[in-house]
Every structure is written in C-alpha cells, then in structure tokens.
Amino acid sequence: MTSASGDVILELSGVTRTYGEGTSAFQALRGVGFAVTRGEFVAITGPSGSGKSTVMNILGCLDMPTSGHYAFHGVAVETLSRNQRALLRRHYLGFVFQGFNLLKRTTAVENVELPLLYRGVSAKARRASAMEALALVGLERWATHTPSELSGGQQQRVAIARALVTGPEVLLADEPTGNLDTQRGREILDLIAALNRDRGLTVLMVTHETDVAARADRVLQIVDGVVATDTRKELVH
C-alpha cells in the first residue's frame, strides 16, 4: 500500500456502529473521527461501555462500521473483501490482548512463530525471526518454556513478540496491562513505549486506567460512542 495522505496511517471519519435491529438496537459508536500519523503513541480511553473496544475492533479489521469511513494508508477499508481485510491484518497490524491468547502447550518460540506459519514462511526462517522477536522483548532465554512456566509479565512479552514478528506498521494493544500486577504492568508499558520511541512503531492502546493512558503522547477519550477529548502532550517522551 502507498499512502495517499502523507504521514497519516489510518483515519476514521463519521464512524458509527450499531448492534441489533429495531427496538433492541444499540448504537455503540455515534460518529467517531480521528487520524493517526506514523510513529504516534495513542491511548484510547473511556469508561466501560463507552465504545473504545469497538473502535479498536474496527481499526483491527475485526469488525466493520455500520456507516462512515475507515481509511488505511488512504485505502477505504469498507471497500475491501473479507480476504483483503485479512491480508491487511496479517501484513500491517500487530495485536496484543489483555488475556495474552497464547497456546498453552506450545513453547514461547512456537507461539511467536504462528503468524509466520500462516504466511507460509519456511521453518528455518520462522525460527530465526521468532528468536529475534523474543530477543527484542528480552525473552530469548525462555524460548523453550511453555506459558505455564512463565509469569504473567513474561507471557505478555511473548504476546508482544508474536505481534512484532511480522514487522507490523501498527501495534494495537487492548488493555495490555489489565491482567498484570502494578510492577509487571509498568514493565510492559516501558517496553511498548520503547518500541514506539526507538523503533518508530505506531501504537494504539485501549485502556480504562488513567495512569496507563498517561504514558501515551496522545489520549483520545471516548464517552457514549463519540470522541469527547483529544489531548496531546506538549513534550514527546
């Protein structure tokens, strides 16, 4: 893909999302619009039920708007087929979830290899890339450990390595510290901030915690399905 709008990677415009029909219909988003440029670290925050996870699902091509537009590098995502959206996810986006989503009986390095397996990458190349990603998050020594042999913080680092192994342009992190204690959560935030600062990785992070959101350079607060505030730090990192 080539960008049609400078450094803007993704943009939502007038996005709504309604679930259900008739009297049981629920409008989760009511006209969300914002743009994210390359290298930004954006926190999406708001109370439970505000619509922030719906926004993340749309950005990750896991859900589609009811109306409005989502552009990725200037390409209208709503015009893409299901297979094309899957390719966008696979080649441009990395995902980190609150629940880690690791295969329990599979080693750390094998978990990290999974996205490359779906791409058809050779076994030797998969292993080399997975080990490089584990080294990036400081876990190369734990490559042969299964999730049950790792702490919560280490499991989340494996999940981050899995998200990074394909070289995504954008990291989408949904409550990445939600299942961690304060210290482990701080370590994960430090890691995400370092990836943004040192590697130029664009990060969008959903969180309901104000202290977690404060680590980002920009905070979008979503309330009742709309962007209530859009605040940027004056100083970067």
Res. 235 pLDDT band, cuts 50 70 90: low
Q: At what angle do helices 123-136 and 152-164 cross, to 10 degrees?
A: 130
Say whether pLDDT at 211 is over 70.
Answer: yes
**Averaged pLDDT for residues 73-88:** 95
Q: What is the pLDDT of residue 93?
A: 96
* Distance (Å, whole) CA 125 – CA 229: 44
Q: What is the tens place of the pLDDT at every residue in 42-56?
A: 999 999 889 999 999
Closest CA to 71 of 2, 18, 9: 9
For 166-203, write each residue's pLDDT tens digit: 999 999 999 999 888 999 999 999 999 999 999 999 99
pLDDT tens digits for 150-164?
A: 999 999 999 999 999
Domains in the chain (CATH in brackets) are 41-64+92-232 (3.40.50.300)
